Structure 1
Amino acid sequence: MMSRVQKGLVAGVFATIAASLLEIPNMFLNWFDPFQGVIASIIGMPGNMAVGWGIHLISGVFILGPLFGYLCPRLPTDTPETKGIVFAVGAWVVMMLGVFMLGDYRTFSSGAGFGTVAWLLITHAVFGIVLGNVYARLVAREKRGATIIGGAPAH
């Protein structure tokens, strides 16, 4: 039996993988500024993609996943996917506040400002959909497995 935080951690792994799979073609095709580059610029290491990837993975798996598991029952909306979107867009707002308050004015290179911000919002929404879906599947699996004759479900 996993706690909500553990379920969020597992969901965070899958959601981070999904968001990373969206980011890989962006890095090679150079559509927008890579998310990992934006993160590295915020902390004062522009161009260091390895640091950006590390922070991206740590924050998606170990911060946002467990935090979603904790907050999921308290989030508005009815479906787990929309709860995930609400949560991820909230995380995007916090990140954008950090970018605009702590980041350098050159955080977004050349004319990619609005496109990059929109791309980050889209990838966060996908992150939220996957996060909510995987979390809901883990909760449902546990409810199915915990049924005892004459007993009540765990959640």
Structure 2
Amino acid sequence: MMSRVKPGIIAGFVATLVVSILEAANLLFAKVFDPFPEIVARMFGMPGNLLAGWVLHFIVGSLVLGPLFAIAYSRLPTNTPETRGILFAVAAWVAMMLIITIIGDPRTFTGSAGFGTLAWMLITHMIFGGVMGNVYARMLAREKRAAAFVDGAPAH
């Protein structure tokens, strides 16, 4: 049986990729909300460095949130993988907001940022969680099916 961390990293990467497509559409076409990679870059002290924001976005989504979700998955108090992912992602969003509020730079949310940007971030985190939960559960199911067959016959 493979470690739970590896499927967590993969699920986190896929979910980050899905949310990044939404962010790219916002950044390139809509420009309604502050782009999340720009906010991430500001959080890490690199305002204006969009490339650094994208890289950090993928690192945190894949290598931090994915494995943490995999570790917490069985302890999350919901019935479906998607709602487990959403619950986890909303908790991550709350933690991020608290960190920004308590120890972050108060200018992190600037320009058009306001309630709309915060709501957009919450919605994209929920989408991230739903995708991550779905991908993670599919990987666990695939692993379970593969373990059930030994030399081409079902194990008893």
TM above 0.5, one fold? Answer: yes
Question: How far apart, CA to CA, are the structure 2 residues paired with 1:42 and 1:136?
Answer: 31
Q: Give the alignment of 1:112-123 within 5 angstroms.
A: 112-123=113-124
**What is the aligned-residue RMSD (CA, Å)?**
1.3
Number of residue-to-residue matches in the alignment: 151
Structure 1 unmatched ranges of 5 or more = none
Structure 2 residue aligned with 1:64:
65
Q: Does 1:10 align with 2:10?
A: yes
Deviations 1:115-151 (A, max 9, x none): 1100000000000000000000011111111114453
Q: What secondary structure sits across from 1:19 in the alignment?
A: helix
Q: Which residue of 2 aligns with 1:110?
A: 111
- Once the 2 structures are TM-superposed, how far is the Cα of residue 50 of structure 1 from its aligned partner? 1.1
With 44-53 and 94-103 compared, the bigger mean Cα shift is at 94-103
Unaligned runs of 5+ in 2: none
Q: Hey, what does 1:142 align to over in structure 2?
A: 143
What pairs with 1:28-47 in structure 2 (closer than 5 Å)?
28=28, 29-47=30-48
Task: Write out per-residue CA displacement over residues 82-120 of structure 1, whole angstroms, 9 at most, x where no aligned residue.
Answer: 000010001101111122223333222234311110000
Q: Is 1:128 the equivalent of 2:129?
A: yes
Normalising by structure 1, report the TM-score. 0.91
Contact 2:34 2:112 in 1 (8 A): no
The answer on whether the counterparts of 2:33 and 2:112 sit within 8 Å (CA) in structure 1 is no
| TM-score (structure 2 length as normaliser) | 0.91
**Identity value in percent:** 56
